[in-house]
Structure 1
Amino acid sequence: MTPLISAFHARRRRWLALLGLTPLLQACSPLRLINATVSASTHTVRADQPYGSDPRQQADVYLPARPVAGAPMAVFFYGGSWSSGERADYRFVGEALASRGIVTVVADYRLSPQVRYPVFLQDSALAVRWALDHATSLGASPERLFVVGHSAGAYNAAMLALDPRWLTAVNMTPRQLAGWVGLAGPYDFLPIGNPDVQVAFEWPNTPFDSQPLFQARVHAKAAPRTLLLGANSDSLVNPQRNTLTLAQTLSALGTQVDVELFDRVSHITLIGAMARPLRGLAPVLDRVSGFLNAPPA
């Protein structure tokens, strides 16, 4: 059983029993089961949009069923220790945000061990460049472009927002982002203990400037407004060292930051709470969609 299945299993058993769906648990992973609950009436999907030439450089775009003129656009990056993940598994995130009027791009990116840092950041920047170039044709405003991520994906989003090297390489700057959202992100994780992450960052040769907290201290005055959410009980990414310290650092240097840690979720169920069956755990969707839909400053 994977860590993801373990994290969801107990919480989902009660819900499945109430709906008479317990037999499906043996046949479906929690993500597939949650995605099976996604409403088809809230959105349309433009799948398999290439933002580069590699098979992993593709994205799915979730469009609100009722388009809003000048809608915000969110580019979402999922987690998985930079070594696993598929955009199709995060249909529930695309639907959740699209149901709130947000054009949402769920992007794959190349993974370790096939690549190493900073290739996944380069891919993420290419995906954001593609989103900016297609925003108007997708019904979104280029001035309301956000990056959003969970776990390793929150790291990707943070580095695009805080370290200008990556967007500069695609002829953009962090100032072109209307904001960014990090969910349970690792922002200060040296030294590296996780074997998969050691490979992804070539530990112990990992550069110090690979850390979002380092970049925040250097570039905070140019950082876009920020929403940081986490789980108090997160046993994978320490929320005090990462979420709270980054929030305090950015705020002290003048960046507009909203931050909250929730009690009833874990590292995994924090993103799971975006899905309809788990929204009672924490108001993650309300916080994220409220941030993205706020009028431009």
Structure 2
Amino acid sequence: MRIALGLTVALLLAGGALALAIRMNGAAVLDGIDRLTGGTRGVSLVSETRYGSHASQKLRIYAAAKATQQLPVLLFVHGGSWSWGDPDDYAFIARAFAPEGFIVALAGYRLGEDGRYPAMLEDTAAAFAETARLAPQFGGDPTRIVLAGHSAGAYNVVQIALDRKWLTAAGGAPRGVIGLAGPYDFYPFDKESSRDAFGSVGAGPDSQPVNHARSDAPSMLLIHGERDTLVKPRNSRALAKALEDVGAPVELRIYDEFDHNAPLISLASPWRGSRDIDEVAIDFARRVTEVSVSVQAEIP
């Protein structure tokens, strides 16, 4: 069966059908291919809940079968131009990180008219708070949360991490942030998606992550493709420079051959492991959530 599935995937790749399918419903296709070619990796859905009354305010929590107490937590927020997307299509993110020693939470947020600025940020902050509250039930450490997101989701997580007002009520802060192909410097709004989500409600420069760089910001890993024409790589370059200028910890990785979706695709099987995105992201998440163990002095 596995061989037949592998041949099917190979044929899709050769014929270009996979590329078309990813453009039409990328995350769902990636999730299916990841599950078929990589299996479950011992990862299971341990909580299927909501953090609000809206249908899009979903929170899904995954853990490896042998999860132990006090694991770091990775909270991932999907993209979709703030108008579409569903965390239920992103279980491949959990299968990428949970076997490496993380509890993984996938969060949705209000979209379209309901999710116009600042609703998407209110929701992401609420999802962070709910993840911290629930994490101990599944072996997660609520004080060691890493935020991650792709595209519009990267904007959400970076903005709430930099602009203090969003997580004040949550009473906590992430240890680090991973942004994949995110928009961080796009004012004035010149695309339909940004005009709908931001311009239609009169958002201004304060809505831009690049304008909230601060020296005590959580560590950030910004990943972008040089061939990304949907969200130009200058967004990650501009944010990295703004953070560097104030002495904040930031790592910028630009991949010459990557387009907008390549960083996300790199976290799914069979691409996972053949590129270094998963290795880089996992290493970063481990470093920023590392627990310092004090060594008691020997008594003579």
Q: State the TM-score bracket (shorter-chain normalisation).
A: 0.7 to 0.9
Task: Give 1:17 shift.
Answer: 2.8
Is 1:222 aligned to residue 232 of structure 2?
no
**TM-score, normalised via structure 2 length:** 0.84
Task: Go from structure 1 to structure 2 and tell me whether the alpha carbon gap of 1:84 and 1:33 turns closer, same or farther (over 3 Å shift).
Answer: closer
Q: Is the 8 A contact 1:74 1:104 kept in 2?
A: yes
Larger Rg: 2
Q: Which runs of 5+ in 1 are unaligned?
A: 1-12
Identify the match of residue 250 of structure 1 among 243, 249, 259. Answer: 243
Task: Go from structure 1 to structure 2 and tell me whether the alpha carbon gap of 1:138 and 1:21 turns closer, same or farther (over 3 Å shift).
Answer: farther
Is 1:268 aligned to residue 265 of structure 2?
no
Identify the match of residue 195 of structure 1 among 192, 196, 209. Answer: 192
Is 1:101 aligned to residue 101 of structure 2?
yes
Identify the match of residue 178 of structure 1 among 159, 175, 180. Answer: 175
Task: Give 1:296 shift.
Answer: 4.2
Q: Which runs of 5+ in 2 are unaligned?
A: 1-5, 293-300
The 5-angstrom pairing of residues 52-131 of structure 1 reads 52-131=52-131
CA distance in 2, matches of 1:42, 1:275: 15
CA distance in 2, matches of 1:195, 1:292: 34
Q: Percent same amino acid at aligned positions?
A: 33
Is 1:150 aligned to residue 147 of structure 2?
no
CA distance in 2, matches of 1:94, 1:255: 28
Count of equivalent residues: 278
- Which range moves more in the overlay, 141-150 or 14-23? 14-23
Task: Give 1:82 shift.
Answer: 0.5
CA distance in 1, matches of 2:89, 2:14: 20
CA distance in 1, matches of 2:58, 2:113: 19
- Which range moves more in the overlay, 34-43 or 187-196? 34-43
Secondary structure of 1:264's aligned partner:
coil
Secondary structure of 1:223's aligned partner:
coil
Moved over 6 A (4+): 19-24
Q: Is the 8 A contact 2:128 2:170 kept in 1?
A: no
1:275 is aligned with what amino acid?
Answer: A
Secondary structure of 1:229's aligned partner:
strand
Q: Is the 8 A contact 1:116 1:202 kept in 2?
A: no
Q: Is the 8 A contact 1:262 1:282 kept in 2?
A: no
**TM-score, normalised via structure 1 length:** 0.85
Secondary structure of 1:133's aligned partner:
helix
- Which range moves more in the overlay, 145-154 or 200-209? 200-209
Task: Go from structure 1 to structure 2 and tell me whether the alpha carbon gap of 1:69 and 1:27 turns closer, same or farther (over 3 Å shift).
Answer: same
Q: Is the 8 A contact 1:154 1:186 kept in 2?
A: yes
CA distance in 1, matches of 2:14, 2:65: 28
1:45-93 Cα deviation digits (max 9, x unpaired): 0353111222211111111222143211011111111011011111111
Is 1:236 aligned to residue 236 of structure 2?
no
Task: Give 1:18 shift.
Answer: 5.6
